[in-house]
Amino acid sequence: MPFDFKWKEEYSMHVQEIDQQHKKMIGMISDLFDSINKKDTKEKLGGILDELIKYAGYHFATEEKYFVLFNYENTEEHINEHHKFTAKVLDLQKKYLNHEIEISFELIDFLEDWLLYHLLESDKKYIKCFTEHGLK
Ligand SMILES: [Fe+2]
Ligand SMILES: [Fe+2]
């Protein structure tokens, strides 16, 4: 199964710091895919998942810092999406560590779909606010 989740110009928020973070997250999902294909150990897979969760937390905190700073109108709704995602992946991680589920292509599909939807539907909405406040 080829993996073609790559950052594209249409995902740009026109803010360098944010684009870098999104690229990194897409890269981590791609690493997870490669790791399954290579049949890496559970430790290695679990490590990448853990890094991804931590990095997502760091990224969400970056966006949320600007929401507060700029008094962004969709703050509550947007933070709610971040929270829901975090709860879901932490639950998946717990199930993984308890040997209830595997890190699978389905899990990667979920991560990819969520991120893509979030970038194009939710993150896009703050571009105007962020750039009007001078971010680039
Ligand atoms: Fe976001
Ligand atoms: Fe984002």
Q: Is the pLDDT of residue 4 over 90?
A: no
Distance from residue 60's CA to the centre of ligand 2 (Å): 6
Q: Is the pLDDT of residue 51 over 80?
A: yes
Ligand nearest to the CA of 18: 2
What does the pLDDT look like over 97-109, one tens digit per residue? 999 999 999 999 9
Distance from residue 5's CA to the centre of ligand 1 (Å): 18
CATH topology of domain 15-132: Four Helix Bundle (Hemerythrin (Met), subunit A) (1.20.120)
Structural tokens at position 95: 């199930």
Given a contact cutoff of 8 angstroms between Cβ atoms, the answer to whether 13 and 19 are in contact is: yes
Give the mean model confidence (pLDDT) for residues 114-128.
Answer: 97
DSSP state letters, 88-136: HHHHHHHHHHTTSS---HHHHHHHHHHHHHIIIIIGGGGHHHHHHTT--
Distance from residue 102's CA to the centre of ligand 2 (Å): 26
Tokens 């993984």 belong to residue:
96
Q: Is the pLDDT of residue 1 over 80?
A: no
Distance from residue 11's CA to the centre of ligand 1 (Å): 12
Distance from residue 115's CA to the centre of ligand 2 (Å): 8
Given a contact cutoff of 8 angstroms between Cβ atoms, the answer to whether 48 and 28 are in contact is: yes
Distance from residue 26's CA to the centre of ligand 1 (Å): 14
Domain locations in the chain as residue ranges: 15-132
Average pLDDT, the chain: 96
Distance from residue 76's CA to the centre of ligand 1 (Å): 11
For position 2, what pLDDT does the model report?
A: 65
54: exposed, middle or buried (Cβ count in 10 Å: 0-12, 13-18, 19+): exposed
Given a contact cutoff of 8 angstroms between Cβ atoms, the answer to whether 52 and 32 are in contact is: yes
Distance from residue 81's CA to the centre of ligand 2 (Å): 10
